[in-house]
Structure 1
Amino acid sequence: MPAQNQPARAANPVICGFHPDPSICRVGDDYYLACSSFEYFPGVPLFHSRDLVHWRQIGNVLDRPEQLRLPASMPSSGGIYAPTLRHHDGRFWLIVTNAREGGGNVIVTATDPAGPWSDPIPAPGVPGIDPDLAWDEDGTCWCTVAGVSQVRIDPSTGETYGTPRGLWSGGPGAKAPEAPHLYRIGDHWYLLIAEGGTERGHGVSIARGRTPQGPFEPCPANPILTHRGTGHPVQNTGHADLVQAPDGSWWMVFLGVRPRGGTPGWHVLGRETFLAPVTWEDGWPVVGEVTLDLSAPPWPLSCAPVEERYDDFELGELGPTWISVRDRPAELCTTKERPGWLSLHARGGSLDDPDVVFAGRRQQDLTCRARTLVDPSEGRGGLAVRLDERHHYAIEACGTDVRVIARVGSLRTVVAERSLPAGPLVLTITITDPAPPHGPCTGPDVVSLGIERPDGTCTELAALDGRYLSTEVAGGFTGRVIGMYATAGTVHFDWFDYEPLEG
């Protein structure tokens, strides 16, 4: 049984913004973590850490069109669900669900987690979503999926043997048993699952058995992690994975959200990755305190390193933090056409279209500012905060005209318009706390869209309620992404800057 460790604290979230469904593995002193990416390309962001707290994105697992095809017919919050990342026999293995028509579960491998990763190996005999891989002592590999059921698999070919059989599905009548992970720890096999749905009722439960096939005995203290029915500032806690540190201590990574504003509370960054210490009592894991403190040293205000918040597009390609909607054809999104600029060639006619040409980064801070210098002389485009096709705010330039557009559900409105002298201009989006007084209907934040003049002064064209770009309003599984887009002709962007603001 693992050694006891003293309770410890971790500043959270350890990976801010839309980074849900974390799966983690350790190789020596190095930790690697993968997350879901849904309708965005490239897919499955991959992070590295030496201390479980400071994480840096080193790549994306599915970063080639032949690895990941997300058609325009696929709705937002479809796509890539719930990877499991493991290291076995000298290789990294990742199994994940492509939740689109004709998709299913696939396996990719790599010797270097920064890539390249292999082309996907289909696993048609693996049903459902949230697949997990675990190897027993004789090398047999077991794939466990949401439900919770299990089937034997050859991960090198994707071939399964036999039919999936049920294992243990959490508490009686529990909603949505999912996110299973199977571990050999001491004399037992432990089956960790999420249950209660990924909303406010989310939680983590565990059971153990003598073999990877069970039977499984539930922990008497289940759920071992949940914030349902509490006033904790971190809610929707679930979809967890366990890892042991080199010193013998144990830790849990899991998703959670930070709802703000009045009732019912709105979360806008999506589901983020959190960390908590784990101790063991009577052979069962006990999850420690989930702290929420980004300001305590040595952790910075923003999860994103300074060098990753500004991009002057001088490199030949976009870095791993940049994501696009469903695909990113090189001929439509390039830094090679005009040196030092990002050039976007329009395809979809507006942000409402599933094939819009868009390049953005996840919003990682509750208050922040994004700016870009745009040349709209050859087309129409701008800067947007996107949740999905039906929920986004944008400031858009075309020639000498600038306008603010709000899309909320079935309503699309031009909120403000302004004519300006011809030439490049700086577009800004600033996200701040709402002004007092606060009441039960106060939104989580205010999204201000405007322009910045050459002398550095800013002109706000519109200030919009942020609740309408939240999961509680829009639904789905993603968070806000801030980025540049083109909806007609060609639009060039000289630089992009993102900075956190003091809340």
Structure 2
Amino acid sequence: MRTYDNPVIPGFHPDPSVCRVGEDYYLVCSSFEYFPGVPLFHSRDLVHWRQLGNVLDRPGQLALPDDTPASGGVYAPTIRHHDGLFHVVTTVVGAGDGASGNLLVTAERPEGPWSDPVWIDVPGIDPDLAWDENGDCWCAVAGVSVARIDTRTGKVLEGPLPMWSGTGLRDPEAPHLHRVGQWWYLLVAEGGTALGHGVSVARARSPRGPWEPAPANPLVSHRGSPEPVQCTGHADLVRAADGSWWAVLLGTRPRGWFPEFHVLGRETFLAPVEWVDGWPRMGPVREREQAPGAWHPVEQPPARDDFTAPALAPHWISPRSRPDGSWSLSERPGRLTLTATGGSLDRPGHTFVGRRQQHPDCRAAARLEAGSARAGLSVRVDEAHHYDLEVGGGTVSAVVRIGPLRQTVAEQPLPPGPLTLVMEMSTDRVPPPTGTVPGNREATGVRPGGPDAVTLSVETSDGVVRLAELDGRYLSTQVAGGFTGRVVGMYVTEGRAAFDWFEYAPVGRVDCAAP
């Protein structure tokens, strides 16, 4: 019996939506304040996924100003294929006047190019699309309501009409409509996207209702359970090519002492679905599950990027925007050259190019030629929560930003020549309590139990210098808040710096699917 490891798309990849075209599966996730927006993945077996690109990959589609708040931006996309076109509908939140609301883009091929947005005249978040037997398109939104729309213009043709809003728990959201046989099934997430999260289901003969709730709701929830996967919810259904049914949904992997901390954000999990007496049924979402059908492993991106390609790979993201003048792969071939657009990582508008941390235990490293610039390697949740390895002013420093506090916790004279900056995240090396300063290993009187340790080091020709070992809980959702997860990457806040390469790799057990 073949099995797979959950999550199938690890790291900050929440709010998954999936569709099948023939034997191919396509999945999108929320991207919030990061650009490019809406990562898009392809699979042949629902287990192995490769990122094809990003749906909103140019400023004409997605323009997030600097005052877009952390965890604002792009929420909860839905992907569907109808009448020869891929459709992605999503919400933009907090992007200023004229740039917020629900938008729809289309493409003939999932790789793009994707169209300019059509703004949909339906208020609410978490939009969904479904077509009835007449070819009419229905758009459901959180709340929950549905409207018949013209996808060419975004105009409402009927409604919005109230729908079933769950079992009475808070925050009914993430509606997904699926027609199965003569029934329309409505999946609704409720209970909030934290520990109370879950999914319930109802059915009707028409998108207009009336709706009948399932007798065995919720379809899935881990609230109050000892399961290692928590916050399960925001599910979408897909029927596999072999006729079996599956759900993709978000979940978290909390670690550490009470109240536990999750640092990777909400991740994409896969779970089998059965139909019993006309209703979908799911069991607990497990970290290891029986695999669907035949396996078709896809090629994963290399652990090391030498920046020799003509464009950045699709997994590279930047907060809010990535102006053309802030980065270059052609100025120095084989280098990523970054130019400062802001003077501090503590405020929006800085130059940062990073990737999601996807494994609890991992190592990220970059070779930096800083010259007279101020630049380095950072692991961040937002502008108020990040750890930095910074080169500048003749020193290399370990800098900590937690809420309103910023402190340099260690520094060393800068050695000559290029140097390698290293960040290691380890669940086996959880530091003791830190008192008021992360990295202070002499504090006593508080029980340890953070989710991981973040070690900041520098490698030179003379060896390795460890500057700091920091408690990872301060870069968790439980401390920082918001809907994202950790992103680790390269930055510059003064002048211009060149990065020769960047590498990221899990350490020890790989927490994603493997053949």
Give the shorter-chain TM-score range: over 0.9
**Structure 1 residues 354, 224: CA separation in 2 closer, same or farther (over 3 Å shift)?**
same
Letter in 1 for 2:246: W
Where do 1:64-83 residues align within 5 Å? 64-83=58-77
The 10-residue stretch of structure 1 (375-384 or 247-256) with the greater mean CA deviation from structure 2: 375-384
Residue number in structure 1 paired with 2:155: 159
Aligned counterparts of 2:112 and 2:176: Cα–Cα separation in 1: 24
Aligned counterparts of 2:300 and 2:160: Cα–Cα separation in 1: 47
Residue number in structure 1 paired with 2:457: 450
**Structure 1 residues 143, 8: CA separation in 2 closer, same or farther (over 3 Å shift)?**
farther
Contact 1:10 1:291 in 2 (8 A): no
Query: Does residue 185 in structure 1 map to residue 180 in structure 2?
Result: yes
Q: Residues 229-259 of structure 1: CA distance to partner in whole angstroms, max 9, x if unpaired?
A: 0110100000000000111100000000000
Residue number in structure 2 paired with 1:107: 104
Contact 2:33 2:64 in 1 (8 A): yes
**Structure 1 residues 436, 18: CA separation in 2 closer, same or farther (over 3 Å shift)?**
closer
Contact 2:220 2:284 in 1 (8 A): no
Q: Residues 140-171 of structure 1: CA distance to partner in whole angstroms, max 9, x if unpaired?
A: 11110000011110112111124412111001
Deviation at 1:96, TM superposition (A): 0.4
Deviation at 1:9, TM superposition (A): 5.5
Q: TM-score with structure 2 length normalisation?
A: 0.92
Aligned counterparts of 2:326 and 2:241: Cα–Cα separation in 1: 46
Q: How many residues align?
A: 491
Query: Does residue 26 in structure 1 map to residue 32 in structure 2?
Result: no
Residue number in structure 1 paired with 2:439: none
Q: Residues 402-454 of structure 1: CA distance to partner in whole angstroms, max 9, x if unpaired?
A: 01110000111111111023321110001112547999640000000010122
Aligned counterparts of 2:299 and 2:12: Cα–Cα separation in 1: 16
Q: Residues 44-101 of structure 1: CA distance to partner in whole angstroms, max 9, x if unpaired?
A: 0000000000000000000011110000011110000000100000100010001122
Residue number in structure 2 paired with 1:497: 503
Letter in 1 for 2:215: P
Aligned counterparts of 2:111 and 2:402: Cα–Cα separation in 1: 38
**Structure 1 residues 299, 140: CA separation in 2 closer, same or farther (over 3 Å shift)?**
closer
**Structure 1 residues 9, 228: CA separation in 2 closer, same or farther (over 3 Å shift)?**
farther
The 10-residue stretch of structure 1 (429-438 or 58-67) with the greater mean CA deviation from structure 2: 429-438
Q: TM-score with structure 1 length normalisation?
A: 0.94
Query: Does residue 247 in structure 1 map to residue 242 in structure 2?
Result: yes
**Structure 1 residues 94, 213: CA separation in 2 closer, same or farther (over 3 Å shift)?**
same
Letter in 2 for 1:140: D
Letter in 1 for 2:127: P
Aligned counterparts of 1:236 and 1:213: Cα–Cα separation in 2: 30
Percent identity (aligned): 59
Contact 1:22 1:240 in 2 (8 A): yes
Aligned counterparts of 1:204 and 1:265: Cα–Cα separation in 2: 23
Residue number in structure 2 paired with 1:4: none
Aligned counterparts of 2:294 and 2:501: Cα–Cα separation in 1: 27
Contact 2:102 2:119 in 1 (8 A): yes
Where do 1:31-430 residues align within 5 Å? 31-100=25-94, 101-102=96-97, 103-123=100-120, 125-172=121-168, 174-293=169-288, 307-398=301-392, 400-430=394-424
Letter in 2 for 1:372: A
Letter in 2 for 1:327: S
Letter in 2 for 1:115: G
Aligned counterparts of 2:2 and 2:357: Cα–Cα separation in 1: 28
Deviation at 1:378, TM superposition (A): 3.2
Contact 2:431 2:453 in 1 (8 A): no
Residue number in structure 2 paired with 1:479: 485
Structure 2: tracts of 5 or more residues without a match: 433-445, 510-515
Letter in 2 for 1:114: E
Q: Secondary structure at the match of 1:467?
A: helix
Residue number in structure 2 paired with 1:3: none
The 10-residue stretch of structure 1 (310-319 or 235-244) with the greater mean CA deviation from structure 2: 310-319
Aligned-residue RMSD, C-alpha: 2.1
**Structure 1 residues 437, 369: CA separation in 2 closer, same or farther (over 3 Å shift)?**
closer
Aligned counterparts of 1:305 and 1:194: Cα–Cα separation in 2: 33
Structure 1: tracts of 5 or more residues without a match: 1-6
Letter in 2 for 1:314: T
